[in-house]
Amino acid sequence: MRKPKTYRHLFFDLDHTLWDFEKNSEETLHHLYDHFNLGQLGSFSRDSFYRKYSFINQRLWDLYHKGKITQQELREKRFVKCLTGLGVPEAEVPEGLSEAFTSLCPTKTAVFPFTHEVLGYLKEKYILHIITNGFKDVQYIKMRSSGLDAYFSEIITAECINCTKPDKRIFQHALERAGITAQESLMIGDSLEADILGAMNAGIDAVFFNPERKKPRMRPTYTVTCLSELKTFL
């Protein structure tokens, strides 16, 4: 691994990088399946419900990132599309399901292995920040619930500047908020497009967090498969 620059500020993505979105959402969706008696609406299991929701949710988030749907449309459509895709008539989709998910999921506390250990180590050497495309109202709850809020100085959400990663404006806004330059900054995230390409287009070096060991379509500045590896060069 190349010798790193002298960075002063580290920017982290939140979901899928620190906060374990998949584990927390799966736990939440299993709870909602039981609480709303969704099994009585069709012949699908809790796991089938989770898999269908995950597929629909990812597609809607892609549309949101491209500016084709709004935050409200994303929240309103995902459970309707999920359950109708499982054969439930739209009129039978339970009211309050989306609100229950939005209320419960951010309170879940699962984070990736070594998250707290690594952030505690890095906080002694760098100033840490968050840049997230997630919605402000839930991202703050996630961070408080999982004990992540204590590590970070600035929390930049897409709503702060009305654009999402990979748009370089959100990275430029983050640099301006912190009063720093791109050369003294480093971005860490799991998305090659949103985090890595977005940061590098803004002149910021980037660490690709790749726990699934995917073959990247581009060359990040650094790649790690576990957050603990950050301690080997930062």
Domain coordinates in residue numbering, the chain: 9-20+111-232, 22-107
pLDDT of residue 146: 97
Convert 21-49 into a string of H (helix), E (strand) and C (coil): HHHHHHHHHHHHHHHCCHHHHCCCCHHHH
pLDDT confidence tier of residue 163, bands split at 50, 70 and 90:
confident
Phi, psi at residue 193, to the nearest 5°? -80, -60
CATH code linked to domain 9-20+111-232: 3.40.50.1000
pLDDT at 143 over 70: yes
| CB-side neighbour CA atoms (13 Å) of 177 | 20
Q: What's the CATH class of domain 22-107?
A: mainly alpha
Residues 193-233 pLDDT 10s = 999 999 999 999 999 999 999 998 889 999 999 999 999 99
Q: Is the dihedral of CA 175, 176, 178, 180 positive or negative?
A: positive
CA distance 127 to 11: 9
Strand ranges of the sheet holding 205-209, from the earlier edge strand across to the other edge: 154-157, 127-132, 9-12, 185-189, 205-209, 222-224
The mean pLDDT of 161-190, rounded to a whole number, is 94
